[in-house]
Amino acid sequence: MIDEQTLTTEILNVTEDVTFTPLELKFFALELKEMIAEGKLNLKKAIHNARFYAEMERRDNNIKAGHYVEFTDEEWEKFINEQAV
């Protein structure tokens, strides 16, 4: 049995439009299809995942196109050490 979910403003702010880029819309449709198949519909998660996957694809395409920053080993190690808390 599928759990029901009421769309309240706490779950999804329905007073604001949700817009997608074409790539985000593609991933949103895929997320909805997967969630419906599993019987677990979560719109906030579907929106978040769609935007995340679209960003990962954009970054992957940028890397393939040669648009990325290269670090030396020393720069990378310094960056890693600065991230350690």
What does the pLDDT look like over 21-75, one tens digit per residue? 999 999 999 999 999 999 998 888 999 999 999 999 999 998 899 887 788 899 8
Domain holding 54, by residue range, is 22-83
Question: Is residue 3 in some structural domain?
Answer: no
pLDDT of residue 44: 86
CB atoms inside a 10 Å sphere around CB 40: 12
pTM score, two decimals? Answer: 0.63
49 CB-side CA count, 13 A: 16
Report the number of distinct structural domains present in the chain: 1
In a domain, 4, yes or no: no
Specify the amino acid at residue 35.
M
- The structure tokens 């310094």 sit at 78
Res 54: pLDDT = 94
